[in-house]
Chains A and B, each alone.
Chain A
């Protein structure tokens, strides 16, 4: 979202994009892999490629990055920085087993700090919450870098106290310099989500707007603001910057909800097509979007269950457990959903949206006591849950 007064100048996002693209114009694939291959040149190239896709949210582009990383490893061997980048990429694409395998490629890599951070992320995604927290606390005690503090904040926000989580985010921000404004903005967005999870809409908007001031023109900030406002205009703005099926889906949902089916259908069809194309390529990172899509957007509960089962095979955590339980519930199999939703709730997660679904599933399955307990927790966590639910699903 370009800020007023900056219209003529590049936004921070555009400036970063231009800088990376300029680097890549000077250092293209041919140059990077010119014989004899220089490890520093090739490594810098693949890092810049990854930085570009990471910045503009281009998950499809990551396939090309992956090929370049593999090419570099093929020629240069499993150098630590290449394997680390590969692990980052695989984690971004929800490929947890591959992430661990990447980190094992270079003998000493798993013991390095950046690798330990990713392994903690993997542990959390695999539902090993205590292990993840313990690993991150150990890393923070060695060096309290912003990225580790932010991860601890995320865990605390999901499974502990929101106030403590926000304190950790503030501490993380205190470690970030003016040379890392995108990181600062990202944490502002996380703080906004944390506030939103407690129903604090005004505070959420302030965090999002602060993120926009810190790092102007960032599509991710615009996407969050669009989610909060729930207006087609803001989502359309995001879609001018990035081609993301989940954004098209959200826009389609808003049109559909307001009775504009003609506008909604192409967008929803486009989103579904991209999700399915990705899955057909063997990618797994849209499984949870497919689950949600078939459970709630264009209901096809059996399909929702199918995708949810595939996702939970890869990542067995409170999110995938809830997604499968919800899909089963929507398919009229609330009893079958019970074991999954119980595991999710018993994980200790403090998420009003998740617990609200749990209450509905318990109620449908006849477990009134559990349903009531979940409803109480929803009210305690976010008294305004019903009013803010539309903005949660990032």
Chain B
């Protein structure tokens, strides 16, 4: 998922803004080692199928940035303090603001729907470019004789998630109501975020009489106040909580457009034996008007008066002709942690948002933490045993940090060892490492399942919620893990309706066994 309907400048949740081809959906990345040709990294960027599935907007430029590096283990000795967190952020900042220059695959599609692809700043070869047909698998020969598989075309939407449930959990007005675009405070309404419906939260609780609201219809926004003054979660006659999620796939039967590559690791780095983590993130840029004018064939009458800004662009100049619109690295880095603001669209360079993340995580924790406790589970968030979700925001990171210290630093347990097929000593990842920098970090020694990358079949929305579980706690003799909330047996025994994992456990269409793996479009 990551960031459907964002950023706000291209947010289709608002009546006067169209869906844009610049609206990134997801970034997937995992290792592929299925033949003798060596290790390869699979990277897929999906986005809105505008103007339609398999047809691309020629005003948009897509960038995949890639950087292979050694795996870095967080030194536990650093301790779990705000100081150590900031030290980590400083190190990231040093890296991404220094002389660092990622390799890049830059893609645009012309009006004839031919893809033009540039490979820039790769460590072993000079820059090169190619072009090929869209909507078919292509093989690109690199200058050093390797083969990159490429597919740019329409695909089935690989996102499977109860988006409405997520928006219900954060009381996101525009999903359910017509919220004037000017009314910024009408987006996330100041009602406690929660996994369980709140008694009397009539604005967002599911109403059986209006089953389509939040899915295919919206209501008129009633006059405020948009607050909640209750004290309990809603329960039915049997004493069961009402889940804000339904487990239904909001993106069922839909398509996206996709840019997909399968790249040899030995092309991405000179030292594949040590550079075991491929960090990648995607960006969309929209052509500036001045750049478009420069592309319009000159009028015969005008040719005697050439416009000053008509010029041949070199590569740097090319990017100056575009504006950054959207960035995608980690699922939920935008939607859940930075309130989907245009000004916070950044990839690897999101280190300065670290304090925002801490405060936002604490804000979410006051909603989700008590919900988890109410279900009888242990939470990583320190909510002082609050019996009910609370709407609380922070202006101070120092105040927020103690609440989320465990959420940030606890190792995210995996359900079993299948993620680490080689049985190597690979440390479990922690929330702060996952989200700062905002990149998909594909660990080539793992299966690439989230958070060691992101596989197509990963239910990342549910795994994101697991950040708020206490990974030191146990259930039935087994430590909590990132798949716990995805287990049907957990919900079968929970006092809740409907008894379902929050999000669908699999995609609505089978993925392919071979490249490009994403399913054929509907």
Contacts and interface: CB of A to CB of B under 8 A. Distances in A.
Contact of A178 (B182, B223, B289, B307): B289
A44 B16 CA distance: 7
Identify the interface centre among B15, B59, B301, B307: most chain A CB within 10 Å of its CB.
Answer: B15
Interface in A165-182: 173-181
A177 B297 CA distance: 18
Contact of A213 (B15, B178, B183, B299): B299
B386 interface: no
Given A43-B15, A43-B178, 8 more contacts: A3-B299, A4-B301, A38-B178, A84-B182, A176-B288, A177-B287, A209-B302, A213-B302
A174 B220 contact: no
15 contacts: A40-B218, A43-B178, A44-B15, A47-B16, A84-B180, A109-B182, A176-B290, A177-B288, A177-B289, A178-B59, A179-B59, A184-B289, A206-B305, A210-B307, A214-B289
A147 to B, nearest CB: 13
Identify the interface centre among A177, A180, A202: most chain B CB within 10 Å of its CB.
Answer: A177
B93 interface: no
Contacts of A38: 178, 218, 220
A143 B300 CA distance: 39
B221 interface: yes
A176 B286 CA distance: 10
Nearest to A207: B307
Interface of A: 3-5, 37-40, 43-44, 47, 76-77, 79-81, 84, 108-109, 112-115, 143, 173-181, 183-184, 202, 205-206, 209-210, 212-214
Contacts of A77: 223
Given A39-B221, A40-B218, A47-B16, A178 B180 contact: no
B15 A40 contact: yes
B292 interface: yes
A178 B291 contact: yes
Contacts of B292: 178, 181, 184, 214
A225 B461 CA distance: 56
Nearest to B220: A39
Contacts of A178: 59, 286-289, 291-292
Contacts of A4: 299-301
Nearest to B10: A179
Contacts of B302: 209, 213
Nearest to A3: B299
A209 B299 contact: yes
B180 A79 contact: yes
A38 B183 CA distance: 18
B178 A183 contact: no
A37 B183 CA distance: 20
Given A113-B182, A174-B290, A181-B289, A76 B307 contact: no
Interface string B375-396: 0000000000000000000000
Identify the interface centre among B182, B183, B301, B343: most chain A CB within 10 Å of its CB.
Answer: B182
Contacts of B291: 178
A80 B289 contact: no
B181 interface: yes
Contacts of B290: 173-174, 176, 184
Given A40-B15, A206-B307, A81 B180 contact: yes
A155 to B, nearest CB: 22
A173 B297 CA distance: 20
Nearest to B59: A178
A300 B377 CA distance: 87
Contacts of B87: none
A180 B289 contact: yes
A177 B182 contact: no
Interface string B322-366: 010000000000000000000100000000000000000000000
A200 to B, nearest CB: 13
A99 to B, nearest CB: 16
Contact of B183 (A44, A80, A143, A179): A80
Nearest to A206: B305
B475 interface: no
B490 interface: no
B296 interface: yes
B293 interface: yes
Nearest to B290: A173
A210 B289 CA distance: 11
A109 B184 CA distance: 11
B180 A174 contact: no
Contacts of B301: 4, 209
B296 to A, nearest CB: 5
B455 to A, nearest CB: 34
A39 B181 CA distance: 13
A39 B287 contact: no
A294 to B, nearest CB: 38
B182 A39 contact: no
Interface string B271-293: 00000000000000011111111
A355 B66 CA distance: 60
Interface string B98-137: 0000000000000000000000000000000000000000
Contacts of A176: 288-290
A81 B289 contact: no
Nearest to A111: B182
Closest 6 CB pairs of A and B: A184-B289, A40-B178, A178-B287, A80-B180, A81-B180, A178-B292
Contacts of B297: 5
Interface string B306-328: 01000000000000000100000
Contacts of B298: 213
Nearest to B285: A177
A111 B178 CA distance: 20
Nearest to A213: B296
A143 B8 CA distance: 14
A44 B218 CA distance: 13
Identify the interface centre among A81, A84, A174: most chain B CB within 10 Å of its CB.
Answer: A81
